[in-house]
Amino acid sequence: MHKDCERILISEKEIRKRIAEVARSADEKFKGKCPLCVCILKGSAIFFADFVRRLTVPVELDFMSVSSYGSGTASSGKLKIKKDTDADVGGRDVIIVEDIIDSGFTLSKLKALFKERGARSVTIVVLLDKKCRRECDISPDLSCFEVGDEFVVGYGLDYDERYRNLPYIAVLKRGIYGDGSQPLKGTPNSK
Ligand code: PRP
């Protein structure tokens, strides 16, 4: 385990097994269709690569990069598109693939955006669901794991752009992102 981590929360083996299960459910759902899988960079890059390789239905892949800004609250913030999809989503079955849903702000805005652009359906697939932090009324259609309010890194998730390449999901040592004397404020894995 990396020296900056406190403990491994989800092992490589558990991740592999669960992604295969979730991909089977997605396969069932999209039988006879050709969904457009959209990777929301950067956090979901690793999950996306593993998830789409487990699908057997034909798929197209696309990439998007967004960031949120505004007052910092889920309801009044704005989503900034840094890189948009190449494909026209009109009439398509879109699968948004995210590493984590926290307040739910990013995914509510993205879902609304794809709907507005005429997507036939929008399905949300996430690796991690931090349900306890939800501020928007949104749930993923498919989720691999639910996690608590801990600072998790690895398998795509970062702290200050580091640790994304760890093959497992781990809890970061408190001393790495603070002096350990203060309780965790805000959303450790998002804004
Ligand atoms: C993370 C994650 C989601 C968002 C979830 O992205 O990938 O996009 O935060 O948080 P929310 O549910 O509160 O909106 P981040 O901005 O950390 O960028 P990254 O994917 O490049 O690490």
Q: For residue 189, which atom of ligand 1 is closest to its CA? A: 17
**Ligand 1 contacts CB of residue 139 (under 6 A):** no
Instruction: Give dist(CA 158, CA 163) in Å, integer.
Output: 5
Q: Is 99 in the pocket of ligand 1 (CB under 6 A)?
A: yes
- Tell me the pLDDT of the chain (191 aa) as tens digits: 999 999 999 999 999 999 999 999 999 999 999 999 999 999 999 999 999 999 999 999 999 999 986 545 555 578 999 999 999 999 999 999 999 999 999 999 999 999 999 999 999 999 999 999 999 999 999 999 999 999 999 999 999 999 999 999 999 999 898 765 555 544 556 54
pTM: 0.91
Backbone angles phi, psi at 143, to 5 degrees: -135, 140
Q: Confirm if 97 and 80 have CB atoms less than 8 A apart.
A: no
CA of residue 32 to ligand 1 center, whole Å: 31
